[in-house]
A = this chain, B = another copy of it.
Amino acid sequence: MGRLSALFDPDTVAVVGATDREGAVGRAILENLQNGFDGEVVPINPSRETVLGLECYDDVASAPSVELAVIAVPPDIVLESIRNLAEAGTENVVVITAGFSETGSEGAERERQLRDLAAEHDLNIVGPNSLGIMSTPNGMNASFGPERPLEGSISFMSQSGAFITAVLDWATEQGIGFQDVVSLGNKAVLDETDFVREWGTDPETDVVIGYLEDVDDGQAFIEDTRTVTRETPIVLVKSGRTDAGAKAASSHTGAIAGSERAYEAGLEQAGVLRARSVQELFDYARALSGLPEPDTDGVAVVTNAGGPGVLTTDAVGDSCLEIADFTDETIAALTEAMPDEANVYNPIDAIGDADVDRFGEALEIALADPNVGSAVVVSAPTAVLSYDDLADTVIEKRETHETPVVTCLMGGQRARDAEKRLREAGIPNYFDPARAVSGLDALARFREIRERTIDEPETFDVDRERARRILARAERRDNNRLGVESMDLLEAYGIPTPAGEIVDDPARAREVAAEIDGDVVMKIVSPEISHKSDIGGVKVGVATDDVYDAYEDIVARARNYQPDATIVGVQIQELVDLEAATETIVGMNRDPQFGPLLLFGLGGIFVEIIEDTSVRIAPIGEREARGMVDEIQAAPLLRGARGREPADVDGVVETIQRLSQLVTDFPSILELDINPLVAGPDGVQAIDLRLTVDTDELDTEDL
């Protein structure tokens, strides 16, 4: 696949299926291109001599060299058109035509062929079922959508064409400009990850925004995006957040819903700022595209209006920022400069009779404070204050201090001119104090993302071949499930398990128990019996002398409960002291988009009732594994709350990392639960295990 930049900056664009028939898509695209594109536009249509006054070509072979082709022909001749383009040397294609995978099996087959064609000829294909693409620097609107937006530094992708149409008209009214815009359509070839990669290296793009209904390849997305977000902020609306929304998304674009928790984790690990609404998307984008990064989290609030000042302060309290603690010098300077009735502590209330000079002075003093990393100027309209002058003052102060400043000049018509001036200087103005602060919050959250180190997974020394052999046991099971009898899988990956083994006669049971210090736990091992305790299949704290009888009793109960069950034997296990320990759960299930989703939580009620769990997409390194432990509500219990001895948190973190390595090494493991993983002061031990193996996948796994 060639560089995508040619998609957005071609010298020549062909419209395949160009026509001057009113209302036709092929006409709309041509008109949009004629309206401002600074390159050459080539209509292609065998049944026309000219279209809209331009010379029309029968086919691409007869046309001048074409760098980008936009295809708007019936679905059954799309593939042929693309083949012709490829043969004529055109590498960049936008397929507007619908009637592919979104319409059923025939369309899906057509889309598969289109994908093959792209691979064969190394083509960049956008769509099919796309509204088109736009780029403002060269004036190109290669879409049948709305008018070209204003020029700006935001690049924008959307899985919904209507979303682009809906947003651009509004954005123009708001003075928000764009660099490139792409309607992703069915994403047969190029998807979100490709455009993230492209815009990540585009010096003209300051912010990438997008509307997505799914992510095609979650692993590739995380891998590439987390590199891009070290430089370029990405803000996405990922819809289908709720069950109802996911259902609607799947009927809209046929998106296969991964779980919302997987998206949440995956987007977070990728360094994406996630917006929950269209408004939030643009509130974040406006701040990120025009303002420098804050040095510290302290915010100064400068206002002439007490109430709105308090609202702003509340919004700061809701954000990841904090109200800056002014230095004594700042307080002294403000006391000197402001009238007696003013509040010189943050928020600075310059009171209702503040004019532009007093506002400017307060802002100047605040921005000079080393504890101030950003500022919000909040104003109610008054007779003594010109919003236009205030805008100019804020612009000047912001530039002098290289500090991000947002404004909230409250008011209707009277704020419009000032808003425009501010916008042109890259300062977003918001009517609502809460939204102004959310803009600064986005800047601070992006700084945190940039400062992250890439969380490289550690590669532990493990016995992969042994694990492979253990997993292969699942092939002899009807349900592809493995249980406690396969604890040696964990041993192979260095996850501690209690001493013991599975035995199949009572005398051997006694021998094994004798080798273990103290009493033992005995559990029936049978793939068909999952609720072992309920049928009397578990005995805890059995003394060596009682092991023989206990063995016979357990087996008898199991046979009695389910006569046809396969009895593998009885597990004899070291009795782990649960008194001083905490039961945790470490698990994994595979998400259709993102792959292995790791889960951590405390056992029992915490997972089942409080639903206090954390998740990550594997593979992860130590930072994310530690994050999983830290972010559960009950984390203090592990760290020794309420007079308990702290558990071996490092051991838990390492176990999560080793499990990450295991499930990454073996895509055949569909789901796996270590429940419980007991975490005591001196270490962790996996007490029980269940997993499901895809045996077909297993056969393809090369070691």
Instruction: List residues of A (97-147) whose CB comes within 8 Å of B's CBs.
Output: 103, 146
Say which residue of B167, B248, B343 sits within 8 Å of A309 (CB atoms): B248
CB-CB nearest in chain B for A322: B244
A318 to B604 Cα, complex, angstroms: 28
Mark A307-341 against chain B: 1 for CB-CB distance below 8 A, else 0: 11111011111100011000000000000000001
Inter-chain contact B241/A174, CB cutoff 8 Å: no
Interface size on A, residues (CB 8 A): 89
Instruction: List residues of A (285-314) whose CB comes within 8 Å of B's CBs.
Output: 304-311, 313-314
CB-CB nearest in chain B for A253: B306
Inter-chain contact A435/B277, CB cutoff 8 Å: yes
Contacts of A276 in B (CB 8 A): 434
Instruction: List residues of A (338-359) whose CB comes within 8 Å of B's CBs.
Output: 341, 343, 345, 347, 349, 352
Inter-chain contact B610/A612, CB cutoff 8 Å: yes
Say which residue of B243, B345, B633 sits within 8 Å of A609 (CB atoms): B633
Flag the segment in A405-413, A441-449, A663-671 that touches B.
Answer: A405-413
Inter-chain contact A278/B244, CB cutoff 8 Å: no
Inter-chain contact B166/A343, CB cutoff 8 Å: no
Inter-chain contact B170/A411, CB cutoff 8 Å: yes
**Is there a chain B Cβ closer than 8 Å to A2's Cβ?**
no
Inter-chain contact A313/B412, CB cutoff 8 Å: no
Q: A412-B173, A636-B609 are in contact. Are A311 and B237 (CB under 8 A)?
A: yes
**Is there a chain B Cβ closer than 8 Å to A199's Cβ?**
no
**Is there a chain B Cβ closer than 8 Å to A507's Cβ?**
no
**Nearest chain B CB to A57's CB is how many angstroms away?**
27
Q: A306-B253, A343-B251, A642-B604 are in contact. Are A311 and B411 (CB under 8 A)?
A: no
**Is there a chain B Cβ closer than 8 Å to A459's Cβ?**
no
Contacts of A435 in B (CB 8 A): 277, 279
Inter-chain contact B310/A248, CB cutoff 8 Å: yes
Inter-chain contact B313/A248, CB cutoff 8 Å: yes
**Nearest chain B CB to A183's CB is how many angstroms away?**
10
**Is there a chain B Cβ closer than 8 Å to A605's Cβ?**
yes
**Is there a chain B Cβ closer than 8 Å to A634's Cβ?**
yes
Inter-chain contact B413/A169, CB cutoff 8 Å: yes
Inter-chain contact A244/B323, CB cutoff 8 Å: yes
Say which residue of B160, B310, B413 sits within 8 Å of A252 (CB atoms): B310
Contacts of A347 in B (CB 8 A): 248
Q: A169-B414, A609-B636 are in contact. Are A434 and B279 (CB under 8 A)?
A: yes
A423 to B227 Cα, complex, angstroms: 47
Main secondary structure, interface of A, reads helix
Instruction: List residues of A (160-213) whose CB comes within 8 Å of B's CBs.
Output: 160-163, 165-167, 169-174, 211, 213
**Is there a chain B Cβ closer than 8 Å to A641's Cβ?**
yes
**Is there a chain B Cβ closer than 8 Å to A380's Cβ?**
yes
A369 to B161 Cα, complex, angstroms: 30
Say which residue of B252, B345, B412, B642 sits within 8 Å of A306 (CB atoms): B252
**Is there a chain B Cβ closer than 8 Å to A497's Cβ?**
no
Which of A211, A313, A431, A435 lies at the interface centre, i.e. has the most chain B CB atoms within 10 A of its CB?
A313
Q: A170-B410, A610-B634, A612-B610 are in contact. Are A163 and B434 (CB under 8 A)?
A: no
A349 to B252 Cα, complex, angstroms: 8
Inter-chain contact B160/A307, CB cutoff 8 Å: yes
Which of A174, A415, A605 lies at the interface centre, i.e. has the most chain B CB atoms within 10 A of its CB?
A605
Q: A162-B352, A308-B160, A345-B251 are in contact. Are A383 and B170 (CB under 8 A)?
A: no
Contacts of A410 in B (CB 8 A): 166-167, 169-170, 278
Inter-chain contact B612/A634, CB cutoff 8 Å: no
Inter-chain contact A252/B309, CB cutoff 8 Å: yes
**Nearest chain B CB to A573's CB is how many angstroms away?**
23
Contacts of A379 in B (CB 8 A): 166
Contacts of A317 in B (CB 8 A): 241-245
**Is there a chain B Cβ closer than 8 Å to A259's Cβ?**
no
A670 to B360 Cα, complex, angstroms: 48
Instruction: List residues of A (606-646) whose CB comes within 8 Å of B's CBs.
Output: 608-610, 612, 633-634, 636-637, 641-642
Contacts of A636 in B (CB 8 A): 609
A sample of 15 inter-chain contacts (CB < 8 A) reads A160-B307, A162-B305, A166-B410, A172-B412, A244-B323, A245-B311, A245-B313, A252-B310, A276-B434, A278-B410, A278-B434, A279-B431, A279-B432, A279-B435, A610-B633
For the complex of A and B, list the 7 residue pairs with the smallest distance between their C-beta atoms, beginning with the closest.
A160-B307, A242-B317, A173-B412, A162-B305, A245-B314, A166-B410, A163-B307
| Besides A248-B310, A277-B434, 8 new A-B residue pairs in contact (Cβ under 8 A), listed by A number | A172-B413, A173-B413, A174-B412, A240-B314, A242-B316, A277-B432, A605-B641, A609-B634
By a beta-carbon cutoff of 8 Å, the part of chain A in contact with chain B is 23, 28, 103, 146, 158-163, 165-167, 169-174, 211, 213, 237, 239-245, 247-249, 251-253, 276-279, 304-311, 313-318, 322-323, 341, 343, 345, 347, 349, 352, 379-383, 410-415, 431-435, 604-605, 608-610, 612, 633-634, 636-637, 641-642
